[in-house]
Amino acid sequence: MFDSLTKNLDNILRRIKGTAVITESNTREAMREIRMALLEADVSYKVVKDFTTICQQRAMGQEVLRSVSPGQQVVKIVHDELVNLMGPVDHAIQYNEHGPTIIMLAGLQGSGKTTTAAKLARFLQHKGHTPMLVAADVQRPAAVEQLKVLGAQLKLPVYFEDGGRPPRICERSIQAAREKNCDLVVLDTAGRLHIDEALMQELGEIKDRVKPQQVYLVCDAMTGQDAVNSANEFNQKIEIDGVILTKLDGDARGGAALSIKAVTGKPIKFIGMGERLESLEEFHPDRMASRILGMGDVVSLVEKVQAQVDADRARELEEKIRKRSLTLEDFLEQLQQVKKLGSLQDIMGALPGMSGVDFSSAEGEIPRVEAIVRSMTFEERRDPEIIDSSRRRRIASGSGTNTQEVNQLLKQFRQMKKVMKQFSEGSVRKNLGGGLSGGALMARRPPKPPRGPGFRVR
């Protein structure tokens, strides 16, 4: 799979990996080579252009990490952007609570619909479902026969009619599925060699009548840009939920896999990796990126170092908290720092003892807290004790909040300070629930007791 692309990228990245200094010109050179490799892989031109532009920007903007070479970081950037290019993917199927869940497959003739219908039924069978296969391709009599054979292999019922119109067949199959206690129906629809009006009309009608929970377009990876273009057209005519990309096992280039999401806006959800019924896999952009780059070791090294840097920063923050006598001004500054550093959950989670505390609800509090503190005078920030009721009213109206919210913040700040004090004295363990974790940022939801090892002051 993707042999030549992998080889080309490997060559380029192997060279840049060892680079000690990343300059505008050497990244540009690497990006030029990556651009060539992707175009050669039949990735669409605009996708390639956007991809290399963003990689270049990120390479130039990246912070220097100790212990990995800048070149290694570039490898990681390319990896991450490949993941972004192909994802995100949500594999979940919205199951129908009121009857069989209907999955509709569409696609051009020969793309692998009938085979994929059986593969998908098998996949879902292994997840505990009882699927029924529906032969809605009456274009070719052999297609019905093919599905019957596959159904028999899987010991699954196959619904078919002799002749008739596919939309009606599909409709009646749902009733048959109910009668057979099947909780899932996979519709194998007719294909054509090319997209034509009649086909789209038929597919649209099926969709209208049976209202499928999922519509997958089956595309042949080996047809490269043609697969991408037809996916785009199908999606415009009958909206699809995602793509199942087949014959990836025989695809040396990778153009379809890399372009489909960017061009159509719809992700690849499954991939076909062979003719056998067990050769269907969920599509995971990160795994695919690693397969393509084949530089898993470098990527995980950079990830480790990045995690270490976050931990270093958290330790700095902790040090500050410990040393300072906290004023609201410091508090604001720390908030801003936290905001800059990334998710509050990540940062606080890296502090010793905080790993079990849920900060996710606190994230939204930051702007409000910020507004309140900003509406205070310097004196008030340094010495919140002077904030009397008239000051409270002024601060509330200045920050677009109410006096209750100002009160709440001040109360939490006091609690936090108390905990800070204990924190630096090393005796926090006993009062965690009402302490830092119950501080200003936790205004809306009481904290869960932490599962971590408790505070340790090192």
Ligand X SMILES: Nc1nc2c(ncn2[C@@H]2O[C@H](COP(=O)(O)OP(=O)(O)O)[C@@H](O)[C@H]2O)c(=O)[nH]1
Binding-site partner at residue 3 among Mg ion, ligand X, none, CB < 5 to 8 Å by type: none
Out of 274, 294, 398, 454, name the contact with ligand X by CB under 6 A: 274
* Nearest Cα residue to 217 out of 163, 229, 208, 291: 229
Shortest CB 170 distance to Mg ion, Å: 15
**In the complex, residue closest to Mg ion by CB:** 114
x/- string (CB under 6 A) for ligand X, residues 227-246?
-------------------x
278: its two tokens: 């067990």
- Span 164-193, contacts to ligand X by CB under 6 A: 191
Binding-site partner at residue 79 among Mg ion, ligand X, none, CB < 5 to 8 Å by type: none
What number of helices (H) and strands (E) belong to the chain? 18, 8
Contact 426, 454 (CB under 8 A): no
Binding-site partner at residue 50 among ligand X, Mg ion, none, CB < 5 to 8 Å by type: none
Calculate the CA 225 to chain-centre distance: 24
Out of 250, 294, 352, 356, name the contact with ligand X by CB under 6 A: 250
State how far the alpha carbon of 427 is from the alpha carbons of 38, 59, 194, 354, 435, in Å.
58, 45, 74, 15, 12
Shortest CB 193 distance to Mg ion, Å: 12
Calculate the CA 401 to chain-centre distance: 35
The residues, any chain, with a CB within 8 Å of residue 269's CB and separated by 6 or more, are: 89, 91, 216, 241, 242, 243, 244, 282, 283
Give the chain's largest Cα–Cα span. Answer: 87
Distance CA 246, CA 118 (A): 13
Contact 387, 402 (CB under 8 A): no
Binding-site partner at residue 454 among Mg ion, ligand X, none, CB < 5 to 8 Å by type: none
Describe the crossing of helices 70-86 and 285-293 by its angle, rounded to 10 degrees: 130
349: its two tokens: 């989670």
Shortest CB 229 distance to Mg ion, Å: 21
Shortest CB 141 distance to Mg ion, Å: 11
DSSP letter at 63 equals: P
**Residue 107 or 435 having the CB closest to ligand X:** 107
Binding-site partner at residue 246 among Mg ion, ligand X, none, CB < 5 to 8 Å by type: ligand X
Count of residues that bind ligand X according to CB under 6 A:
18
Considering the rule CB under 6 A, would residue 277 count as an interface residue with ligand X? no
Considering the rule CB under 6 A, would residue 437 count as an interface residue with ligand X? no
Considering the rule CB under 6 A, would residue 161 count as an interface residue with ligand X? no
State how far the alpha carbon of 308 is from the alpha carbons of 231, 322, 350, 398, in Å.
42, 21, 10, 40
Contact 248, 273 (CB under 8 A): yes
Distance CA 86, CA 366 (A): 32
State how far the alpha carbon of 16 is from the alpha carbons of 24, 55, 221, 258, 289, in Å.
13, 13, 30, 22, 18
135: its two tokens: 């032969």
**In the complex, residue closest to ligand X by CB:** 272
DSSP letter at 92 equals: -
Shortest CB 197 distance to Mg ion, Å: 20
Stretches 42-50, 163-171, 268-276, 438-446: which one binds ligand X (CB under 6 A)?
Answer: 268-276
Considering the rule CB under 6 A, would residue 72 count as an interface residue with ligand X? no
Considering the rule CB under 6 A, would residue 254 count as an interface residue with ligand X? no
Q: Rule CB under 5 A: which residues touch Mg ion?
A: 113-114, 143
Binding-site partner at residue 349 among ligand X, Mg ion, none, CB < 5 to 8 Å by type: none
**Residue 39 or 277 having the CB closest to Mg ion:** 277
Distance CA 258, CA 254 (A): 6
Shortest CB 191 distance to Mg ion, Å: 6
Considering the rule CB under 6 A, would residue 281 count as an interface residue with ligand X? no
Distance CA 166, CA 168 (A): 5
- Span 87-126, contacts to ligand X by CB under 6 A: 107, 109-115
Shortest CB 368 distance to ligand X, Å: 52
266: its two tokens: 């719809």
Shortest CB 181 distance to ligand X, Å: 27
Binding-site partner at residue 247 among Mg ion, ligand X, none, CB < 5 to 8 Å by type: ligand X
**Residue 150 or 295 having the CB closest to Mg ion:** 150
Q: Residue numbers of the site for ligand X (CB under 6 A)?
A: 107, 109-115, 191, 246-247, 249-250, 272-275, 279
